[in-house]
Each structure stands twice: as C-alpha cells, then as structure tokens.
Amino acid sequence: MIGLLSVELNRFRSRRAIALLVLASVLAAVAFVGATAWNTRPLTAADRADAAAQADLEGLRPDLLQEVRTCRASPKDFLGPDATADDCRAALVPSVESYYPREPLKLSAVLTKEGMGLALIVIVLMVIAGCTFTGADWSSGSMATQLVFEPRRTRVWLAKAAAVMLSCGLVAVVVLSGYWLAMGALAQARDIAMPSAHVSGVAWHVVRAVALAMGAGLGGFALTMIFRHTVATLALLFVYSVGGEIAVNLLPFEGSGRWSVGNNVLGWLAPHHRYLDATIVCTPGERCSSMQVMTHLEAGTFLGILLLVAVAASVLWFRRRDV
Amino acid sequence: MIDLVIETHGLRKVYRSSGRRIVAVDGLDLSVPPGGVHGFLGPNGSGKTSTIKMLLGLVRPTKGEMRLFGLQVPDQLPQVIDRVGAVVEAPGFVPAFSGRKNLSLLAKSVKVPRSSVDAVLQQVGLADRAKDHYSSYSLGMRQRLAIGAALLKSPDLLILDEPTNGLDPAGIRGIREMIRGLGESGVTVLLSSHILAEVQQVCHSVSIVGDGRLLAAGKVDQLLGENVSRTRVGVDDPQGAKHFLESAGFTVSRETDHLVVEGHEHPEQITKVLALKGIYVQELAAIRPTLESFFLKLTGRSGEDAAADTSTPPTPPGDAS
C-alpha cells in the first residue's frame, strides 16, 4: 500500500495541470499579501491632515451643532440613562479617524475578508486538482493499465484518494500558512499588536481551511471516479452549487438556508458565520430573526455527510464497474 | 504441474447500452495449455477483448467460470496477477510522462526493480526514446511500450491483444519474433488476433471464436488446413494446362488469366505434369485460406450473411474485438 501511495503521490505532483493549479494558489496568496499590504498601508501626514480638515468642516455643520445642543439639554433622552452632556459631542460629531482613507492592518478584519477569500480560492483549486488528477487517468486509458498491475480496486482507490488528500492538504498548508506568516511579519514591521486571541483565531481558521481543502480535493476525486470525466464533474459541481442555492431559497419550508452549500462552507471557515435566511419570515411582534448563525459543528456535519456519501458511492461504483 | 494456464467454462458477458442487451461473449469454453504461443483468433466483434478483460478483472463476467494457473478469477486474481503480463486494446499511459517514467511507476507499484525498466525498454527497442514524452510516441512506439509494460513482471503468462496493431512491417516482424522466442522459452503466450497469417506464423495452437462462442480449437496446422493444398498457377495457355491437369486427376478451376489447382500434395507435381506437355509455369503460389474464408467455412454461412451480421451488432462498450 505504501508503494502504491508513493506512486500516486509521484503521479500527482508530476501532472502539469496540477502544477499549474498549485502555481495559481501560490500566485493568489502573493497577490492577496500585496493587496492587503497596500490596502492597509500606514497613513501619510497628508492623509491625516485631509481627515482632520474634513472632520473640522463636518463639526461646523449647523444641523449637527443644533443636534448637539439638543442632546446637551437632555442627554438621557438622547443617548440613554447613563449619558451625560459631555458625551454628546463625542457621540454625534464624527471623529477624525472616521475620515481616514483606510483602516490600519488588523488581523481579525483580514481574517473575515482577504483571508477568507484566499481560503476559498485554494479550496476551489484543490477541487479542480482532485478532479483532473483522476480525470486524466480515465481519459488517457492509464487506469486500465494500472488495474492490470494491481487488480485490488479498493487499494487503488484508497492510494489515489490518500495521495489527493495529502497533496491538497500540503498545498493548502503551505499557501495559507505562507499568507498568514506574511501578514504576521507585516504587522510586526508596522508595530501592530497581535493579540493572542487573534493569532489563535487565525491558526484555527488555517486548520479548518486545510481540512476543507483536503475534503474538497477528495470530493472532486471521488466524483470524477464515478463520472470518469473532469469537465463533467466540474459542471455537475457548478450546477449543484448554483442550482442548489436557488433550490434552497425556493424550498417551501423555513430555515432551508441551513442546507445551502455556500452557507455551510462559510460556516465551517468563519467563526459564527451569520447569514440571511430568506425563507424565515418574521411577523411583527414575533420574537424571531431572519439572520441565522451557522456553527462549525453544524457546517462540518453537513459537509462531512456530503463527502461521506460521495466517497461511499465512488468506492462501490469503482469496485463493480467495467473498465 | 498445472494442466491449463487459462481455463474458462460457460463464460458469458452481456453489456447493456441504451436499454439494449449486447451479448459479447456467449458461453465460451477456452483452454490454454502451459508453454508455447496460443492463438485466440476471431473477427472483430467476436468477443476476444471482452474475454481478455474478464480474465484480467477489468470487466465482470455475467456468468461462467474462469481460472488462471488453476486459481479462480476474479476472486483469486491478486494471488496470480504477478505472473501475468498483458496488453489490452489500445494501451493507455500518462501522455505527459516519458516512456521510462510510465514504466517506472508501474514497476514501483508492484515492487519490480528499476533495472527491469531499462531492460524491457531495450528489449522492445525504445531505449533511445525512453526519455521522450509518451505523447510524442508514434502508434507503433506506444504499442511497443505497452508490450514492455507487459514484460516488466517477467510473466509466466503473457496476454497480448492485437499487439502488432499500428506497427510497421519491421516492427511487426520484430514483435512476432519476440513472441515466438518467449513461447519457446517456456512463457505461455495468448495472442489475440484477427490476422490469420499472424497466427499461422507464430502460434502452436489456436482457439477460434465467433459471436462470442468457441468455434474450433487445436493445433494450428490441423485447424487451418495447411496441408490442404490449393495452388495458383500462371501459364501462357490456361485452357491447355487445365485440360492436362484435369487429365492427371487434379481439380482445376479457371480464374481470369490463371488457374487454381487442388488435389495435390506438393506443387512440383503440377510443374512436372505441365512440363511433360511442353507448358512451362510462369507463376506458382500456394493459396492460404483467409480468416474470412475459414471463418465462413466454420460457420457455414455465405459472405453476404456474414456481411449482414457484422454490420448489425454494435461494438459493445469498451470492446474492440
């Protein structure tokens, strides 16, 4: 089995299409590092001066000054029971910071934006890698040649699946860790504090993204072993993703957003993913909300069951089919 | 010592395609003794490739029993596969890998030493092109690489499905010599072919199939009637020659500008009769039976029937034979 796995790993890394997908993952990470670094670059003196001028101008608006005066007269009615007259200006007049042209680097913000985007890109690329790895075996006819050497099909399937999972996991680890190490280095270079809670959040995000990339690669592989064609599998996945989202919104019962693939993927990657479930309609006075929260456990269970079904079908199909 | 290397009883394969049932193999009983080259002869669509695929576990039989080296397959195939090398249909390799890399990966998967790869590449004449991508290989080179892969395990049984397809005359000759040599060295070779001349040249014994059934089996000489002589004779005076040969007891028919003579043991009997009458032979050639004629003779059908039959059934999925 180790020999077979080693052969499959060799085949995986030697495929040109897969090398291109890995390269695309690395380039995406580099592009995201560059974009994040640029979008959060330190403010210049001119940026600060512009912001201060705009804040001053805003503070002179008559309607705003009138509002501040009203607030000072009755702060408790305006800002709540604990408010005092001194709180009114701070609460109503925009600060200089709110006119800064960009936010400074903050790991928690990067995690929900660029970090999430990069993870999704890597996951999609690993799905394609899993599909093309075995799709090429079928289209070239080399699957039959391999089976003449090793007729135990379950072993062949497992060796290929393990190679896909390990390789996809390795690519995801390298690309995502590389991105976050670069982010860490950037924060350090800019003397930005990295609270341990943020670092821990990033670490768990990377762990979950790597696990999802491995599962995505395995899922793509398993489905292509059924359909024997890369493009057919990718087309099916596309139809399932897009059509599934539409179908979920059309389902005639409340809470069907729970079954959306997109919500579950984001629910797995992001902490306490909040999503709008259009199928939940709240009547006035009713204690409910269309905004729902997806936990990691819920998302992981949903995605795990999907993967399990694809894997079981793939193994059974491959064991019995004529080649 | 086992009695038979390959044994099938009542082997049947039915493909289902678009709601239709296509019987590719229909109760085939095949027996291949150890050693030598055994021909597996039949026209395209006769079930040869399906049978080979079932023996190798690539296709599941609908019914029947198969044994390789006395072991039941496909259940016990893993125990015997190391003794079997095979080329099935158009062989498939990874196009972006070199010939050597393709073979190296196959060798590694079954723990065959890497030195064997270079040895078989040399044996099939691909040593000079071993580093080139498989996608750049000609059809003949691909076929030779497949034969090389089949030889990697130094098999006791070599199953070759139309191995000379796509080869040039020199390549065909080389492969046939290699097959003959392997048969003489004690390897059992099952050579699937629709080319009668190939079977006649290379094989010791043969099984002839048609419509998925065994039509005949035995020694090549006996089955294909090499001792039944028909000779094509070219002379200046066909009419006179026909008269003299018939007088001498031969059966003679005239075909345009030449004669076809039957009923002699050796062609020199013909030249002797004609020379004594002052007619000198310009052309003398033994007429070998073609697979088509032999097949029609076995099935007792006319050429038109056969043509109608072969045009009707579609080729089963994944079956080239």
Interhelix angle A62-73/A45-59, nearest 10 degrees: 70
Residue with tokens 């897009």, as numbered in its chain: A242
What is the model's pTM?
0.80
Residues of chain B neighbouring A143 (CB-CB closer than 8 A): 92
Strand partners, B26: B12
Query: Within 10 Å of residue B240's Cβ, how many Cβ atoms?
Result: 14
The 3-state DSSP class for residue A144 equals: helix
Cβ of A136 within 8 Å of Cβ of B94? The answer is yes
How far is the C-alpha of A86 from the C-alpha of A110, rounded, in Å? Answer: 35
A·B CB contacts under 8 A: 84
- Three-state DSSP class for residue A51: helix
* Tokens (6 digits) for A85: 């007259």
Collect all residues of chain B within an 8 Å Cβ-Cβ radius of residue A142: 92-94, 102
- Closest by CA to B11, choosing from B27, B23, B24, B22, is B27
Judged by a CB distance cut-off of 8 A, whether residue A19 touches chain B is no
Smallest CA–CA distance, residue A168 to chain B, in Å, is 21
Work out the minimum CA distance from A298 to partner chain B, whole angstroms: 40
Provide, for chain B, the percentages of residues in helix, strand and coil under a 3-state DSSP scheme, each rounded to the nearest 5: 35, 30, 35
In sign, the C-alpha dihedral spanning B313, B215, B40, B263 is: negative
Do A145 and B146 count as a contact with CB atoms less than 8 A apart? yes
pLDDT attached to residue B174? 84
Give the nearest partner residue to A16 out of B53, B81, B96, using CB atoms.
Answer: B96
Q: Which tens digits make up the pLDDT trace of A192-222?
A: 888 888 888 899 999 999 999 999 999 999 9
pLDDT, one tens digit per residue, over A103-119 is 888 888 888 889 999 99
Q: In chain A, what residues touch B109 (CB-CB under 8 Å)?
A: 3-4, 7, 146, 149-150
Nearest CA in chain A to B62: A322
Is residue A173 pLDDT above 90, yes or no?
Answer: yes
Return the pLDDT at A123.
96
Minimal C-alpha gap between A37 and chain B (Å): 39
- Between CA B40 and CA B44 the distance in angstroms is 12
Question: Looking at residue A103, what DSSP letter applies?
Answer: P
The segments of chain B whose pLDDT lies below 50 read 303-321
**Nearest Cβ partner of B94 from A3, A142, A144?**
A142
Tokens of A255: 């809470």
DSSP reduced 3-state for A32: helix
Q: What confidence tens digit (pLDDT) does each residue in A120-144 have?
A: 999 999 999 999 999 999 998 889 9
Among A4, A140, A151, the residue with its CB nearest the CB of B93 is A140
Please state, in angstroms and as integers, the Cα–Cα distance from residue B218 to each residue in A156, B10, B55, B221, following that order. Answer: 39, 19, 21, 9
Which stretch of A96-100, A168-172, A285-289, B221-225 has the lowest confidence by average pLDDT?
B221-225
What residue in B sits closest to A318 (Cα-Cα)? B58
Question: What is the per-residue pLDDT for A176?
Answer: 96
Q: Give one DSSP letter per residue of B102-159, joined into a string.
A: HHHHHHHHTT--HHHHHHHHHHTT-GGGTTSBGGG--HHHHHHHHHHHHHTT--SEEE
B142 to chain A, any CB pair closer than 8 A? The answer is: no
A220 or A54, greater pLDDT:
A220
Choose from A145, A156, A318, A321 for mutation: most chain B CBs within 10 A.
A145
Mean pLDDT to the nearest integer, A232-250:
87
The answer to whether the Cβ–Cβ distance between B92 and A6 falls below 8 Å is: no
Cβ A151–B95 below 8 Å, yes or no? no
Spatial strand order in the sheet of B20-32: B20-32, B6-17, B63-68, B71-73
CA–CA min distance A12, chain B (Å):
11
Q: Is the dihedral of CA B61, B205, B196, A142 positive or negative?
A: positive
Question: ipTM score here?
Answer: 0.75
Strand segments, DSSP code E, in A177-282 are 273-276
- CB of A154 within 8 Å of a chain B CB? The answer is no
CA distance B319 to B25: 11
Strand pairing category for B188-193 and B36-41? parallel
Cα–Cα distance between A63 and A36 in angstroms, integer?
Answer: 38
pLDDT of residue A151: 92
Which of A148, A150, A318 should be substituted to probe chain B, the one whose Cβ sees the most B Cβ atoms within 10 Å?
A148
Sheet harboring B188-193: ordered strands across?
B84-87, B157-161, B188-193, B36-41, B205-210, B213-219
Distances (CA, A) of A30 to A26, A118, A192, B133: 6, 10, 21, 32
Facing B108 at nearest CB: one of A7, A137, A320? A7
Give the pLDDT score at B312. Answer: 36
Q: Is B83 on the interface with A (CB under 8 A)?
A: no
